[in-house]
Amino acid sequence: MTNTTEASRHFAAKLRFETDPSDVRAAQEAGERFALIDTRGEAAWRQGRAIGAIHLPTAEIAERAARVVEPGIPVVVYCWGPGCNGSTKAALAFSLQGYEVREMIGGFEYWAREGLPVEDDHGDVTRAADPLTAPVDGISCAC
């Protein structure tokens, strides 16, 4: 059985390195300074992305990160969704470049499913919140 001290350290570390779509949106709305990075390829980016995201595919992070994200700015990365480890690879790549980085669990899928603002190459995309992922009558799940 895991002792409570060990568990506390584990979960505190998780929260230092992970975030979720609703917390990222709340940080955007609060005016917190960070770069939200969409690490997917060009076709995925064109299909739709979180509002305010910057496009920087994982394969280009080592070469382009310093030109795209000012050093010292915290970074939040996302990829497709829970079935994809692309954001983990991107978080590793940013950390190797010296950035403070967090992975947005759930990725673009849960950003969109929670009804958070999405845009594509044609403008804003409106999606209703999925009742299996977010309260349809509220801003947050209050967790």
With vertex at residue 75, the alpha carbon angle to CA 138 and CA 67, rounded to the nearest 5 degrees, is 135
Residue 98 confidence (pLDDT): 97
Q: Which of 100, 106, 110, 64 is nearest to 84 (CA)?
A: 106
pTM of the model: 0.89
Q: Which of 56, 37, 31, 42 is nearest to 108 (CA)?
A: 37
77 pLDDT more than 90: yes
**3-state SS, residue 101:** strand
Residue type, 50: A
Residue 35: is it exposed, middle or buried by C-beta count within 10 angstroms (0-12/13-18/19+)? buried
pLDDT: is 139 or 88 the higher one? 88
- Helical H runs in the chain? 4-17, 21-29, 42-47, 61-68, 86-96, 107-113
User: pLDDT band at residue 59, thresholds of 50, 70 and 90?
Assistant: very high
The percent of residues above 90 in pLDDT, for the chain, comes to: 80
What is the sign, positive or negative, of the torsion defined by CA atoms of 28, 71, 97, 8? negative
Tell me if 103 sits within 8 A of 29, measured CB to CB: no
